[in-house]
Amino acid sequence: MSSLKSKATGRTPAFQHDLFGTAQDLPEGFAYQPGLITPQEETELARHLEGLPFQAFDFHGHLANRRVVGFGLRYDYDRREVVEALPIPDFLLPVRERGRGPCAPARRGFRAGADQ
């Protein structure tokens, strides 16, 4: 993980610029939740993320300039099918629940083929 410290001063910025603009600038359905995690939780999440098995993104033999890790299901470009991926790590579950927000659909089980 890269540090937020300035290369010129070696200090961490005292503030962070607003990356998302005002609410009217956001795409429909996007819900930005500032303060969703505390600075302490952010540090802990970063520590956990460093231990995940990130790999170069391989798209039909072309390596993208990024590293990825997937959970649940992922698309295998060589086999051209959806395959099982790692289960979502326990340390991400509380953040996922908080990030669902009040407009998220209720968690329900669906029987196989219900969408057909």
Q: How far apart are CA 22 and CA 66, in angstroms?
A: 29
Amino acid (one-letter) located at 44: E
Q: What is the mean pLDDT of residues 89-97?
A: 92
pLDDT in the model for residue 2: 47
The more confidently predicted of residues 110 and 62 is 62
Predicted TM-score of the model (pTM):
0.58
Please say if the pLDDT value at position 84 is more than 90: yes
pLDDT category of residue 62 using cuts at 50, 70 and 90 = confident
Mean pLDDT of 60-76: 88
- Percent of the chain clearing pLDDT 70 (strictly above): 66
Q: Which residue is associated with the tokens 């083929």?
A: 113
**Closest by CA position to 44, among listed 87, 6, 12, 1:** 1
- The residue with greater pLDDT, 54 or 20, is 54
From the list 39, 114, 53, the residue with the least C-alpha distance to 89 is 53
Q: What's residue 59's pLDDT?
A: 82
1-47 pLDDT, tens digit per residue, is 444 554 555 555 556 666 655 666 778 877 778 888 999 999 999 99
User: Which residues are CB-neighbours of 77 under 8 A, at least 6 positions away?
Assistant: 58, 59, 60
